[in-house]
């Protein structure tokens, strides 16, 4: 008989030390009496006797390597990690077997000896370069420091429902917290489980009270048996409780071919009783129970459309995997494996899916602090996203697992055997927030592929807001590392003198986060500038900037971000045209050239005005000689820009107007402004703009920009009133 609701400390192959308990006896090849007796005890999960037998051989000095391995395994199963560490040290002192190195590293990690664990992971990885579990530790030697650093993304609190025995296997059922306990209450509660001397697990319930739970009670015999009854999930749509127990159905055992009694999922409907009470319906096995494989730890999604569960069935990644089935109405569809993003060669367990399609689970195969750690991943249409470790304080060097959340998707409960509880596994309350993330990569030259050192890295979040505290310079070799709070998207911005600014978007639920490559383009010739709102002069995002060659062939285009900046690489001895447009704004363009220049950074800013009827645009730097109205060369430069704007917006009609300040006679000012406006219109028409598109108007001093008493106006106010403008008549 086995179960996977009582977490042990460790796992091997099919024995899920943290929930799937001993699914197979200790494998032995020697034919000696001690091995046969030890095997007998292992079949009964009596690891204390197994350990005593082999420790006796060690004490006598007669233990060989096989004896030490069995002893170490027994200590792990009992949670005696210091003894397991000592035994594996004896093994590795005399043997260079790779499996022993791995197990020694794992035990060192569980005991919080991270520096020593890293050293042994490295030794193991040298012999097993394809083992991704080991490589994950080798590639990130500071992993433990980052995971163990309290991220402040969660809080952990005690709840008053624990016992000195194991309390675990959580589920939410309406206003109840369902859990399993070995406190000896209920059906079969007085029988001890030889593995740890505690009673078999029975399901209990407690009342949910805000962030805690109270008044624990054992559940009725309809859902508890004489063996283990564990991790449950309530389908609120079908009013059905799914839970894990040994394959024991109404007194009938379903044994595997090897004689083991494995685990299955069973369910019972909550039905209305005769006097309005709720009653349990018939006990029904899950469609995909199999006597030869363990199936358990169900999690039904809040809409009842999918069930997730844990199994060691054929077709997984190794150990125990998380699987799922879709609800087909009258039955559950074919089991599908979650795949290698979630499942590893280790053990993945305790799936829970919140209302935001985030999968939480426990694993000892993904890099973690020790034993089982809690992880999360978004369930995307294309499959699971990036897997994140929940870090401290949710995780510790002990076993942390079984997270469930209430309807708010942040308040919940989980299980841990960390110190400070009442004993064995205890239930803790928690508030979970988005995790901290680790982004790392390299900045390189796009052409030479050489690292760029000293580039400035700025991190922006999914809303393009600067996360200023993460502005840093690349390390030697062009490398960078950033810890940041979780966002679904980040933009990494790299800057370096002599290179164009480069932005790289990272979708954190899908993209690799530790091998980001930022390619920067070096330049000798470049066009750069800022696109601004014409009225506010603030950078304008969403403007399309296009670069054309001298023959008006489009070479490149980009869309401005919130900085409004653009930049293009140019060639020597070449002519270009820049064109800028944004929906609802005037289009603009400008011609530039690198001819005759040994190197050049050509800076051109664009002010885009809204293209609305009645929109008024001031033309700067339109100056006239005193009492004159002829177009001076400096004014012609500005009017040429207006001509270009009218060419870029061929359907627009405008009124071109001139204004004076308040000094002088009204009639004189009106006449002078009319002549200046007409002179400007004549110039524009002379440049090829149709006469019907431009009219002139002199307003004199009648429409001042600065509202001031004439005698008290400052020189600046007088200057602002002497202006040339155009107004949009139609578009």
All structural domains of the chain with their residue ranges: 6-147, 154-433, 437-520, 525-608, 616-730
pLDDT at 704: 82
Return the structure tokens found at 234.
């309530």
Q: In sequence order, which ranges of 236-371 are alpha helices (DSSP H)? A: none
Phi and psi for 134 in degrees, rounded to 5?
-70, -40
How far is the C-alpha of 662 from the C-alpha of 72, rounded, in Å?
98
Token representation of residue 101: 């190195």
Alpha-carbon distance 706 to 684, whole Å? Answer: 28
Do 142 and 154 form a contact (C-beta atoms < 8 A)?
no
Question: Residue 192 region, left (φ>0) first, then alpha (ψ -120 to 50), else beta?
Answer: beta
User: CB-based burial of residue 446 (10 Å sphere; 0-12 exposed, 13-18 middle, 19+ buried)?
Assistant: middle
Paired residues of 91 in beta bridges: none
Close Cβ partners of 591 (under 8 Å, ≥ 6 residues apart): 575, 576, 577, 578
May I ask the CATH architecture of the domain 437-520? Answer: Sandwich (2.60)
Nearest to residue 428, comparing CAs of 688, 177, 241?
177
434 CB-contact burial (10 Å; exposed 0-12 / middle 13-18 / buried 19+): middle
Tokens, residue 332? 């559950």
pTM, two decimals, is 0.70
Backbone dihedral angles phi then psi of residue 722, each to the nearest 5 degrees: -85, 100
CATH of 525-608, one of 3.40.50.10860, 2.60.40.10, 2.60.120.380, 3.40.50.1000: 2.60.40.10
Predicted local confidence at residue 221, as pLDDT: 80
**Coil, strand, or helix at residue 715?**
helix
Decide: 377 and 366 in contact? Cβ < 8 Å: no
In 3D space, the residue among 646, 637, 590 whose CA is nearest the CA of residue 617 turns out to be 646
Distances (CA, A) of 15 to 12, 34, 380, 398, 503: 5, 22, 31, 18, 47
CATH number listed for the domain at residues 154-433: 2.120.10.30
Pairing of strands 252-253, 248-249: antiparallel
For residues 252 and 399, give the distance between their C-alpha atoms in angstroms, rounded to a whole number. Answer: 34
The dihedral through the CA atoms of 162, 110, 405, 20 has a sign that is: negative
User: What's the pLDDT at 247?
Assistant: 86
Q: How far apart are the first and last CA of the chain?
A: 82
- Cβ neighbors of 561 (< 8 A, separation 6 or more) are 464, 503, 541
* Confidence at residue 197, expressed as pLDDT on a 0 to 100 scale: 55
Residue 160 and residue 167: Cα distance in Å, rounded? Answer: 12
Half-sphere exposure of 290 (CA within 13 A, CB side): 11
**Would you call the peptide bond into 393 cis, given omega within 30 degrees of 0 as the criterion?**
yes
Q: Which two tokens stand for residue 528?
A: 């750069």
How is domain 616-730 classified at the CATH fold level? Answer: 60s Ribosomal Protein L30; Chain: A; (3.30.1330)
Which residues lie below 8 Å from residue 340, measured CB to CB, with a gap of 6+?
A: 317
Q: Identify the three-state secondary structure at position 55.
A: helix
Q: Is 252 helix (H, G, I), strand (E, B) or coil?
A: strand
Listed in sequence order, the residues at least 6 apart from 79 whose beta carbon sits closer than 8 Å to its beta carbon are 8, 9, 417
Asked whether the beta carbons of 368 and 137 are under 8 A apart, the reply is: no
Lookup: tokens for 137: 């530790």
Q: Which of 541, 538, 590 is nearest to 568 (CA)?
A: 590
Element (H, E) at 49: helix 47-60
**C-beta separation of 68 from 38 below 8 A:** no
Residue 578: which H helix or E strand, with range?
strand 575-581
* Distance between CA atoms of residues 72 and 12, nearest Å: 12
Beta-carbon contacts of residue 707 (< 8 Å; ≥ 6 apart)? none
Q: Which CATH architecture has domain 6-147?
A: Alpha Horseshoe (1.25)
Angle at 224 between CA 197 and CA 308, to 5 degrees: 95
Distance between CA atoms of 324 and 332, rounded to whole angstroms? 9
| CATH topology agreement for domains 437-520 and 525-608 | yes
**Block residue for tokens 């998380």:** 322
CA 211 to chain centre: 26
Res 273: pLDDT: 63
What does the alpha-carbon distance between residue 546 and residue 556 come to, in Å, rounded to a whole number? 6
So what's the pLDDT on residue 192?
A: 55
- Residue 220 DSSP class: P
Query: 525-533 and 606-608 as β-strands: parallel, antiparallel, unpaired?
Result: parallel
Report residues of the chain scoring pLDDT below 50. Answer: 1-31
Eight-class DSSP state of 199: B
Instruction: Please say whether the beta carbons of 50 and 105 come within 8 A.
Output: no
């Amino acid at each position: 008989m086995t179960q996977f609701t009582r977490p042990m400390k460790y796992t091997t192959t099919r024995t899920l030390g943290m929930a799937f308990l001993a699914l197979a006896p200790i494998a032995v090849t020697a034919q000696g009496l001690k091995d046969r007796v030890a095997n007998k005890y292992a079949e009964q999960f009596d690891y204390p006797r197994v350990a005593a037998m082999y420790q006796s051989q060690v004490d006598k000095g007669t233990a060989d390597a096989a004896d030490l391995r069995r002893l170490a395994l027994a200590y792990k199963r009992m949670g005696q990690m210091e003894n397991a560490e000592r035994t594996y040290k004896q093994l590795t002192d005399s043997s260079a077997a790779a499996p022993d190195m791995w197990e020694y590293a794992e035990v060192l990690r569980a005991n919080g000896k991270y520096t020593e664990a890293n050293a042994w992971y490295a030794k193991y990885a040298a012999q097993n370069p394809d083992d991704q579990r080991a490589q994950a530790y080798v590639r990130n030697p500071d992993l433990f420091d980052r995971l163990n650093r309290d991220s402040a993304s969660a809080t952990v609190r005690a709840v008053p429902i624990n016992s000195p025995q194991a309390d675990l296997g959580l589920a939410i059922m309406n206003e109840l917290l369902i859990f399993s306990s070995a406190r000896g209450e209920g059906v079969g509660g007085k029988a001890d489980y030889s593995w740890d001397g505690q009673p078999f697990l029975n399901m209990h319930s407690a009342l949910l009270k805000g962030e805690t739970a109270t008044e624990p009670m054992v559940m009725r015999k309809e859902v508890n048996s004489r063996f283990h009854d564990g991790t449950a999930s309530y389908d609120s749509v079908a009013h059905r409780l799914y839970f894990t127990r040994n394959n024991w159905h109404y007194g009938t055992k379903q044994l595997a071919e090897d004689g083991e009694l494995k685990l299955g999922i069973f369910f019972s409907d909550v039905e209305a009783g005769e006097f309005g009470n709720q009653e349990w319906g018939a006990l029904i096995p899950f469609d995909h129970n199999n006597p030869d494989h363990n199936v358990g730890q169900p999690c039904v999604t809040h809409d009842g459309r999918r069930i997730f569960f844990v199994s060691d069935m054929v077709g997984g990644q190794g150990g125990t995997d998380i699987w799922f089935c879709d609800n087909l109405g009258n039955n559950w569809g074919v089991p599908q494996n979650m795949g290698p993003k979630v499942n590893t060669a280790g053990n993945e367990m305790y799936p829970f899916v919140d209302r935001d399609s985030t999968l939480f689970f426990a694993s000892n195969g993904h890099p973690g602090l020790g034993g089982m750690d809690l992880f999360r991943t978004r369930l995307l249409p294309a499959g699971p996203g990036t897997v994140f470790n929940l870090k401290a304080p949710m995780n510790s060097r002990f076993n942390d697992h079984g997270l469930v959340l209430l309807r708010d998707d942040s308040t919940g409960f989980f299980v841990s055997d960390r110190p400070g509880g009442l004993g064995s596994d205890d239930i803790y309350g928690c508030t979970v927030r988005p995790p901290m993330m680790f982004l790392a990569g390299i900045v390189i030259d796009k052409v030479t592929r050489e690292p760029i050192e000293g580039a400035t890295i700025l991190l922006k979040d999914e809303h393009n807001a600067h996360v200023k505290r993460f502005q840093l310079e690349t390390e030697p070799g062009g490398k960078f590392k950033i810890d940041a709070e979780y966002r679904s998207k980040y933009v990494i911005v790299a800057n370096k003198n002599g290179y164009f600014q480069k932005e790289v978007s990272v979708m954190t639920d899908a993209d690799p986060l530790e091998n980001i490559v930022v390619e920067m383009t070096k330049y000798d010739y470049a066009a750069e500038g800022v696109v601004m709102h014409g009225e506010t002069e603030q950078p304008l995002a969403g403007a399309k900037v296009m670069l054309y060659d001298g023959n008006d062939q489009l070479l490149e285009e980009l869309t401005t971000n919130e900085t409004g900046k653009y930049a293009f690489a140019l060639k020597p001895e070449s002519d270009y045209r820049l064109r800028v447009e944004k929906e609802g704004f005037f289009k603009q363009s400008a011609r530039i050239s690198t001819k005759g220049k040994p190197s050049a950074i050509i800076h051109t800013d664009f002010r885009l005005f809204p293209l609305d009827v009645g929109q008024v645009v001031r033309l700067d730097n339109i100056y006239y000689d005193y009492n004159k109205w002829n177009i001076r060369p400096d004014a012609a430069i500005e009017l040429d820009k207006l001509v270009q704007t009218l060419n870029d917006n061929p359907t627009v009609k405008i009124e071109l107007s001139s204004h004076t300040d308040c000094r002088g006679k009204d009639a004189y000012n009106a006449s002078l402004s009319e002549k200046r406006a007409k002179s400007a219109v004549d110039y524009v028409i002379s440049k090829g703009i149709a006469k019907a598109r431009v009219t002139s108007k002199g307003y004199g001093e009648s429409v001042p920009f600065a509202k001031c008493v004439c005698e008290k106006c400052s020189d600046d106010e007088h200057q602002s009133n002497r202006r040339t403008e155009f107004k949009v008549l139609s578009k």
